[in-house]
Amino acid sequence: MHRLLVLFVLLLGLGASGPALAQQAAAPPSPEKLRSLAELLQDPEVRGWLQAQVAAPAAAPADTGPPAAPAMAAGMQQSMAGGIEATRGFLRSLIAAAPALPAELAAAWRTLTGQLMERGLAWTVVSLAVFIGLGFGAEQLYWRLSTGFRQRLIGTQLDTLHGRLQAVWLRSVYGLGLILVFALGSIGAFLLFDWPLLLQEIVLSYLLLVLIVRVTLVLGRIILAPGAEKFRLVPMATPTAHYWFVWSAILVGWFFFVQFTLGMLATLGLRLESWYLVGLACGVVLLGLTLAALWRAPTFDGRDRIGHDHRIGTWLLTLYIVGIWLALFTGTTAPFYVGIILLLLPIAIRGTHLAVKHVLRPPGAAAAEEVPSVLAVSLERGLRALLGIGGALAIAGVLGLDLGALTSRDTLATRLLRGAINAAIVFLVADFAWHLLRAWLDQRIAAANTAGLGAGDEARRRARLRTLLPILKNVLFVVLAVMAGLIALAALGVEIGPLIAGAGVVGLAVGFGAQTLVKDVISGMFFLFDDAFRIGEYIESGSIRGTVEGFSLRSLKLRHHRGALHTIPFGSLDKITNYSRDWVIDKMTVSVTYDTDLDKIKPIVKQVGKELAADPEFAPHILETLKMQGVEQFGDYAIQIRLKMMTRPGEQFVIRRRALAMIKKAFEANGIAFAVPTVTVAGGGAATSAVAQHALDRAKPAGEAG
């Protein structure tokens, strides 16, 4: 994948022939051809035939011709055959124009020198060098005046996220300043004077060439930073960064040099075929440079070279690049540009991902956070959406598609392409919105889970977030997916009105046929609105109790304290008892003998309560300490004493065990005995025999006594 990334700027060099073709296609034909066309149109037979051809499609609907599918297949075959024949004719015209190419280039050179005779070609070259020198002089002045700014930038601490973002911003501002200063010093100074038209076009074109190379170098210093590894946006080895920094400037510079030169040749009147041959020859040079840079490129770690092991990925890239360049020989640039865009998009997206991940990494770590931040998602997904939308609009521009409206002249393929591009834009926007909302919700959920249960209003708010946010996330996903799908279908030309009406009818039928499901969903919504339970709380409904582990739109999952997992539809829930809200009062009963001094028990219990409240393990969970309420009742064998305490939900069990253990020790130390029931069994002698005999007599059936 790294080889794809480094080709992002490199593949620009392959477009030299493409834009050249587009420019030449707009050039007017020669006067001789226009005169022949006008004479041909004056012929009555030709005019009659053209009128018949225009009127013929109007009668076509009344014709009961062949079926639609065979007609479409025949049309596709005819279109393919026509394209092949047009390509052959185009190649034959190029071959026929090749012998005359040197003479036409010599004529263009004579035209150029003749029009520049007033000032001379040498004077033009010197003027170009002077204005380029003015641009570099302005850069040097900017460099000296910004010394303090550069020192501040170099001293920026990059161990924090704020420092890295600040460094990226400052470097971008500084680079933009360099570009503006060079443009003002060179092009700005040139435009202050009046020049002959041809001279102005030549000098301005090559000044723009130098400016474009400067822009490439500035962007390379910002993204690759070959001389300052700590400022590098895309992580890679320094040799790799330096390699692509140099090669990107070479390829981009050569590409635009060819572009401006071909534009000048078109102005000098070079014929279409000859002009096209020059563009293809320059494209061959660019193709060779591109493949040389690709096969000699070091890997991201800078330790070996790709050309030595002939990896499959490099071979596939080579075949793809050669294939899209060969598409130029068809006489149209559309396949070439579409192929370049489809290749550059994943490279740019991958580079954006690596840059954002590297810049937004946590302090002291090399990887991104487990839960992505909203900032990271906004940057990465936002840039991805912009790149995708830009690529889609570029493809539409290359194909000449108007994304705004349909026309009667559109073919089926044109409509499908327009709809596919619009649908891609819709899905990119929906993808950005979904990931942004999901990142925000995931952060909220993670914060609520990390904070734990706790107590108070803040804890209740976090518990409610843990309960409602997962459902909200699912609902948002469904809503965005449905809306994006409907808009995409509308973009493809599908009438969504009947779909919406049909969905309403189907929904009504499902509602009548699935009353239990509707009851479950609506009951669950009202349970959630009433805040009857939250995730992590212990509740009871009917004969089922347990801890809430999760829920969906239809059912609730309860984990019993012995491990069983209950799945209960919301419609089956009766009244709900929540044991985990606010506080609980735990009451205990202690039985003592009747000879116990009750006045001694109260201070003992009070002391035990103080010790519990002073224990750091239990103190945070005790709201009201242990105290004695008094005599509950007089039993058959003991006096029952009632004790109580108030704790946080779920903590009363551990505190009760500790309290009972402390009470036992305190009672034993103060001579207070616990009352227990006793059973007396008498044994021995006649008494035992009499009781046994009486039992046997009662056990005999009637009529057997005696």
Cβ-contact 449, 466 below 8 angstroms: yes
Tell me which of 227-241, 362-376, 525-539, 615-629 is least confident. Answer: 362-376
Cα 273 → chain centroid: 47
Q: What is the pLDDT of residue 50?
A: 55
Taking the C-alpha atoms of residue 596 and residue 675, their distance in angstroms, rounded to an integer, is 10
Summarised one tens digit per residue, pLDDT across range 556-599 is 888 888 888 888 888 778 788 887 777 888 888 888 888 888 88
Summarised one tens digit per residue, pLDDT across range 119-147 is 666 777 777 788 888 888 888 888 888 88
Residue 365 has pLDDT above 60, yes or no: no
Residue 368 three-state SS:
coil
For the whole model, what pTM was predicted? 0.57
Residue 459 banded pLDDT, cuts 50, 70, 90:
low
- What's the average model confidence in pLDDT over 69-74? 43
50 or 57: which carries more pLDDT confidence? 50
Q: Tell me, letter by letter, the H, E, C secondary structure of 496-531.
A: HHHHHHHHHHHHHHHHHHCHHHHHHHHHHHHHHHCC
Summarised one tens digit per residue, pLDDT across range 221-273 is 888 888 888 888 888 888 888 888 888 889 888 888 888 888 888 877 787 77
Residue 46 has pLDDT above 60, yes or no: no
Tokens coding 192: 């202050």
Query: What does pLDDT average to over the chain?
Result: 74
Q: Which residues contact 607 (CB under 8 A, 6 or more apart)?
A: 666
Taking the C-alpha atoms of residue 544 and residue 555, their distance in angstroms, rounded to an integer, is 14
What percentage of the chain carries pLDDT values higher than 70? 74
What percentage of the chain carries pLDDT values higher than 90? 0
Tell me which of 56-60, 530-534, 601-605 is least confident. Answer: 56-60
Q: Which of 318, 391, 312, 383 is nearest to 353 (CA)?
A: 383
Residue 111 has pLDDT above 80, yes or no: no
Summarised one tens digit per residue, pLDDT across range 17-26 is 444 434 433 4
Tokens coding 699: 């056990």
Q: What is the pLDDT of residue 23?
A: 41
Residue 362 banded pLDDT, cuts 50, 70, 90:
low
Tell me which of 34-38, 263-267, 430-434 is least confident. Answer: 34-38
- What's the average model confidence in pLDDT over 350-379? 70
Q: What is the pLDDT of residue 439?
A: 85
Residue 522 has pLDDT above 70, yes or no: yes
Cβ-contact 616, 570 below 8 angstroms: no
Q: What is the pLDDT of residue 372?
A: 64
Residue 93 banded pLDDT, cuts 50, 70, 90:
confident
Residue 641 has pLDDT above 70, yes or no: yes
Q: What is the pLDDT of residue 472?
A: 79
Taking the C-alpha atoms of residue 436 and residue 430, their distance in angstroms, rounded to an integer, is 10
CA distances from 304 to 77, 224, 307, 452, 574 (A): 49, 19, 9, 50, 70
Longest Cα separation, the chain: 159
Summarised one tens digit per residue, pLDDT across range 170-229 is 888 888 888 888 888 888 877 777 776 777 777 788 888 888 888 888 888 888 888 888
- What's the average model confidence in pLDDT over 478-490? 84
Cβ-contact 337, 15 below 8 angstroms: yes
Q: What is the dihedral of CA 251, 252, 258, 260, to 10 degrees?
A: -170
Region class of 310: left (phi > 0), else alpha (psi between -120 and 50), else beta = left
Q: What is the pLDDT of residue 18?
A: 43
Taking the C-alpha atoms of residue 270 and residue 419, their distance in angstroms, rounded to an integer, is 40
Q: What is the pLDDT of residue 544?
A: 83
CA distances from 272 to 266, 324, 328 (A): 8, 22, 15
Q: What is the pLDDT of residue 6?
A: 40
Cβ-contact 138, 181 below 8 angstroms: yes
Radius of gyration of the chain (CA): 43
Summarised one tens digit per residue, pLDDT across range 301-347 is 655 555 445 577 778 888 888 888 888 777 777 787 788 788 878 88
- What's the average model confidence in pLDDT over 656-674? 86
Q: What is the pLDDT of residue 74?
A: 47
Q: What is the pLDDT of residue 500?
A: 73
- What strands, in cross-sheet order, belong to the sheet with 622-634? 584-592, 639-647, 622-634
Taking the C-alpha atoms of residue 381 and residue 390, their distance in angstroms, rounded to an integer, is 14
Q: Tell me, letter by letter, the H, E, C secondary structure of 661-702.
A: HHHHHHHHHCCCCECCCCCCCCCCHHHHHHHHHHHHHHHCCC
- What's the average model confidence in pLDDT over 145-172? 80
Q: What is the pLDDT of residue 22?
A: 40
Taking the C-alpha atoms of residue 97 and residue 179, their distance in angstroms, rounded to an integer, is 42
Q: At what angle do helices 2-10 and 312-326 cross, to 10 degrees?
A: 30
